[in-house]
Structure 1
């Protein structure tokens, strides 16, 4: 059941979003990749106070530059990266973002599970909450492949209740994460 929880949440948010179309935007990639990337960077650019993000794979330099610029404007940014996908990945934006003031970069390994090889699950989320109001989530990592050739979905929602729920989940992950 835990494996399906993110899917259930996504479907519930999609259902809520369809009831309030003026407060949400859904993009299917690769067909709407350019518009999705533009909406994502605009959401970052319009942040006033805080951005919390959890992302499995993050190699897209354009998104990283918009986050850096938001931090320079004084926006507090916290990003949880999956440890296995980013720590030794030379294309990951983890190291690039870690050097900027107002950006806190964290690593999170998934919970251990019974496996003869001792493998761990993944921190596989792809979500962002901006100013406790705006939610971005879906299947897309922040990579060039996701915004160029992969079949993905990204949902943008303006919903305080959904944002607060994701923030609570984010805070629980932060307690388990380690600084980069």
Structure 2
């Protein structure tokens, strides 16, 4: 089950649920709350009445299916920055997007890529000609984000792993908003071009 609703997003504090609001609460009230909390446009972006979908693993809402739908709907570009990528169906969906002509780029975390399960998925992507980069800096590349066609962005705690789809307490949030998706695309592009902090993975 996917839940689609009208919501408000403030970057860095995405989950209106954390404010004690259910999906049936007044989103105008939630919007007012977040808008009044963030007044500096350089520090945050507040969007009223954005289309938001979310899915919780432990509510049997299958975030992996919601993510795969976003990937399958991509027509032109697919930028993925993901800490952990080990789930087979998600990997296959990324490969399918590439095979139908979508420009796919992936950034992941070096420490995760050293694990056997993720190394296998990364090699699948590389075998298909998909470009993959990993961080070379000392911190983690901890994003869990997919941006499709510069118009849809996903985030949340959800890693692209079997554990996240079955066992963990996870949430995936999908934001249908051009302003947000374009900004996140720009951030991804900066990461992709940063040769000091990221490097290509090769076979």
The reply to whether TM is greater than 0.5 is yes
Aligned equivalents of 1:12 and 1:28: distance in 2?
A: 14
Which of 128, 137, 151 is matched with 2:146 structurally? 128
Higher relative contact order (CA 8 A, sep 6+): 1
Q: Give the corresponding residue for 1:11.
A: 13
Larger radius of gyration: 2
Alignment correspondent of 2:35: none
Q: Tell me, what secondary structure is at the counterpart of 1:59?
A: coil
Q: CA deviation at 1:11?
A: 1.3
Aligned length: 160
What is the TM-score when the length of structure 2 is the normalising length?
0.73
1:162 aligned residue (180, 185, 198): 180
SS in structure 1 of the partner of residue 117 of structure 2: coil
Alignment match, 2:42: none
Unaligned runs of 5+ residues in structure 2 are 1-9, 17-29, 32-45
The secondary structure found in structure 1 opposite 2:165 is: coil
Instruction: Structure 1: state its 5+ residue gaps.
Output: 1-7, 112-119
Residue 96 of structure 1 aligns to a residue in which SS?
A: helix
**Offset, 1:26:** 1.5
Q: CA deviation at 1:10?
A: 3.8
| 1:30 CA displacement | 2.2
Separation (CA, whole Å) in 1 of partners of 2:161 and 2:115? 12
Matched residue SS, 1:11: coil
Aligned partners of 2:57 and 2:168 also within 8 Å: yes
Deviation track 1:33-65 (CA, whole Å, cap 9, x = no partner) reads 42x221111111111000001000110010000
C-alpha displacement of 1:142:
0.3
TM-score of the superposition, structure 1-length normalised?
0.81
Judge conservation of contact 2:55–2:66 (CA < 8 Å) in 1.
no
**What residue in structure 2 maps to residue 97 of structure 1?**
125
